Amino acid sequence: MDSKHGRPCSIAAALSFLGDRWALLAVREVIFGNHTFSEIVRNTGAPRDRVAARLKSLVAAGVLEQRQYQEHPPRYDYHLTQAGRELVPVLSALRAWGDKWVVEDPPLSVTHHGHPVRPRVICETCGGPVHEDEVEKTSNAADWDLAGPVSVSKNSKKPPAAPKGSAGR
Amino acid sequence: MDSKHGRPCSIAAALSFLGDRWALLAVREVIFGNHTFSEIVRNTGAPRDRVAARLKSLVAAGVLEQRQYQEHPPRYDYHLTQAGRELVPVLSALRAWGDKWVVEDPPLSVTHHGHPVRPRVICETCGGPVHEDEVEKTSNAADWDLAGPVSVSKNSKKPPAAPKGSAGR
DNA sequence: GAGATGGGTTTGATGTGAAAACCTAGGTAT
DNA sequence: ATACCTAGGTTTTCACATCAAACCCATCTC
């Protein structure tokens, strides 16, 4: 159950909700202020049923919430929850990367206080930049370290000093 | 060609390379220092053929590069390019979100200078935080604004604001 | 009452993912 | 030299997700 599904990881967990082709684009549209189903369909370019399924799963995941904005024909639109609002840094990072490495000219300009936003990740505790060669990562999962699954006594994933000849069968 | 494929957007462009279920997990493993095919297969939990396909497309996309580390049986491992290295903020943002909203206890602890890293996005120009309600987004794409595609000539999407120069084409 | 519009759901065809077997080529123990 | 093992994939099979398009239902407009 451990090595079967890969490393336990928040990134993988997040991607299980957001790793779909359209999920983040739907969130993008809601962030942009386009809240209705039709707007999301039109602006993402996704098939209607995909948008319907994705909005449903995003609501179930707690990223979006439905609000009824009209009674007579009951109509709902979609709004960000707090979890959804906190996806903005993810989308900013993706946009910055795409702007730099995929497209030539950014299709969208983001400014604040009169100048372009240049997103950068810092550590809120110390206020300093996060250099990849200074960070230290430690796995909290029992059976995993950075290199992969570690031998779990009874689980013979990799007996390091195994007596080669007499192993297993 | 415009509204058919959705809003022109760096996020969508980036996701066309990275939006697959396994792509970012493969990049994660390389960042963690696991460079070989087998390690990536084992640690992501992805099927071998998916890993093979994804590594190939990530190399084609310029995110990873292959290096031959052995001659006799020719063996290659995978390393980050500059574009790949700059995906670290994306993964940091995803991990922060997953830590907060998906998992209970973070499976991985990241520290630097002796304290946990708390990633936060600031604007590198002004050094200040980026508040979503202060940013101003303007579309550079000719036929799109934040609300969606504009002036599709014959399509009367929004008559009231139509005569804004009637730019179109 | 005939369309148009919003908000979806249903329906086949197609693509993509998972799992396991298979293949190649060199290493290693016997 | 033979048998087995490992790395690094490719192929095959099958199931499920995705797509495009059609359909549906209710309301609003003409």
> Is residue B25's beta carbon less than 7 angstroms from any atom in nucleic acid strand C?
no
Q: Which domain holds residue A52?
A: 10-86
Residue A42 lies in a domain: yes
Residue A52 lies in a domain: yes
pLDDT tens track for B17-41: 898 889 999 999 999 999 999 999 9
pLDDT tens track for B117-130: 999 889 999 999 99
CATH number, domain of B72, equals: 1.10.10.10
Q: Which of B155, B81, B147, B33 is nearest to A7 (CA)?
A: B33
The pLDDT assigned to B157 comes to 37
Residue A79 lies in a domain: yes
Whether A7 contacts chain B with CB within 8 A: yes
pLDDT tens track for B52-104: 999 998 999 999 999 988 887 888 899 999 999 999 999 999 999 999 999 99
15-34 in chain B: CB under 8 A from chain A: 15-21, 24-25, 28-29, 31-34
Tokens for A5, please give them.
Answer: 């599904």
Mean per-residue pLDDT over chain B, rounded? 84
Q: Which of A72, A120, A123 is nearest to A100 (CA)?
A: A120
Residue A57 lies in a domain: yes
Q: What's the predicted TM-score (pTM) here?
A: 0.86
Residue A23 lies in a domain: yes
Residue B131 lies in a domain: no
H or E, element range at B49: helix B48-60
Residue B33 lies in a domain: yes
- Domains in chain B, number: 1
Residue A123 lies in a domain: no
Residue nearest to nucleotide D26 (CA to C1'): A73
The pLDDT assigned to A40 comes to 94
**Cα→Cα distances B89→B84, B99, B154, Å:** 10, 15, 43
Long-range contacts of residues B37-43, Cβ cutoff 8 Å, at least 24 apart = B37/B76, B37/B77, B37/B78, B39/A147, B39/A148, B40/B78, B42/A3, B42/A148, B42/A149, B43/A6, B43/A7, B43/A148, B43/A149
For chain A of 169 residues, list the mean pLDDT of each consecutive stretch of 10. Answer: 70 90 93 93 91 92 91 87 95 94 94 93 91 93 88 42 34
CB-nearest partner of A118 from B92, B125, B139: B125
